[in-house]
Amino acid sequence: MPGALPRVHLVTPAVVEWTVARYGVHGVLTERERETLAAFAVERRRRDWLAGRVAAKRALRRVLRDRGERVPGYDSVDVWNDSNGAPRFTVAKRPGLAAQLNLSIAHTEGTGVAAVADTAGAGTVGVDIERTTEVSMAAVRRILAAGELARLHGDEAPPSAIALWTAKEAAMKAASASCTALRHVELSWRNARCVGARITGASVPAYAIVVRHRTVGPYTVAVAVYR
C-alpha cells in the first residue's frame, strides 16, 4: 500500500444499485452475507448494511489492485462482524491477507464508506460518516470531557460539532481493542481540521491517534489511525 496510508472508499446509493444490478446479489455477497441481509426486517437497515459491504469490498479490491495483485471477485470477499461488532474479512484463496490488512466500515442514509489499512505499516483504522448538519453542539458536549470543553471555550476556531463527533467515533473504532465508549476518547486539536486523540487512561501519546475529516457532498467523513 503506497505510503502505508489507509485506503478510503465511499459509495453512494447509486453506486450500490449499479454494482448489484451488474453483478447480481449472488455475485456481490457470499452465502453468509446474503443470510445476514435477509435477516434485516427494516429496509433502511438493509440499505445501509449493503452499502457498507459494497464499500468494504471495493476498498479491499482497490488496495489489491494498487499492490499489483490479483483482484478478487466481490463474492470472494466475505465480510462479517466479530463479537465486539468490529468488521472482519477473508478473501478466498488468500488466507494470510486478513492478518496484513484491517478494515473499518460506516454507513448512513444508504451511503457507505470503508477504510482499509496495512496493519504493520499504518496501524489500525477507524472511519465514520454522518450527515453534515445532523449533530448539534449540545449533543457533542454530552460526550466531551472537562478538558475538551475548556479547550472548546478557549479556541476561536474549534472544529465543528460534526467534526468532533465523527472524530470521536472514528478514533474509538481505530482503538477498539482499548476503547469501547466515546467518553474514553479525548480529543485535542491544533486547528479546525487537524484533530488528535488519545484513549483516557491508556499509556499512549495524545497524537497516537491521528484523525482527518473532510466534507464529501452532504456528509462529513472522519478517518482515524491508531499506531
- Apex CA 166: angle with CA 165 and CA 168, to 5°? 65
Together in a domain, 164 and 186: yes
Does this model's pTM top 0.85? My answer is yes
Together in a domain, 110 and 154: no
Together in a domain, 157 and 60: no
Together in a domain, 111 and 21: yes
Tens digit of each residue's pLDDT (9 = 90 or more) over 34-47: 999 999 999 999 99
**118, 150, 174: which is the final residue of a domain?**
118
Together in a domain, 53 and 88: yes
Q: What's phi and psi for 64, nearest 5 deg? A: -65, -35
Give a yes or no: residue 123 inside a domain: no
Alpha helices in the chain (DSSP H): 13-23, 25-28, 31-39, 43-66, 97-100, 137-141, 146-154, 161-174
- Which CATH number goes with the domain that contains 182? 3.90.470.20
What's the pLDDT band for 3 if we cut at 50, 70, 90? very low
Residue range of the domain that includes 14? 2-118
Together in a domain, 105 and 190: no
DSSP of 82-97 = -TTS-EEEEETT-TTH
How many residues are present in the chain?
227
What's the number of domains the chain is made of?
Answer: 2
**98, 118, 138: which is the final residue of a domain?**
118
Together in a domain, 76 and 144: no
Residue 60's SS3 state is helix
**118, 146, 172: which is the final residue of a domain?**
118
Together in a domain, 174 and 217: yes
Closest CA relative to residue 186, chosen from 144, 137, 141: 144
Q: Which amino acid is at 103?
A: L
H helix and E strand count, the chain:
8, 10
Tens digit of each residue's pLDDT (9 = 90 or more) over 88-147: 999 999 989 999 999 999 999 999 999 999 999 889 999 999 988 877 878 888 888 888
Tens digit of each residue's pLDDT (9 = 90 or more) over 158-208: 788 888 889 999 999 999 888 878 888 888 887 767 788 888 877 777 667
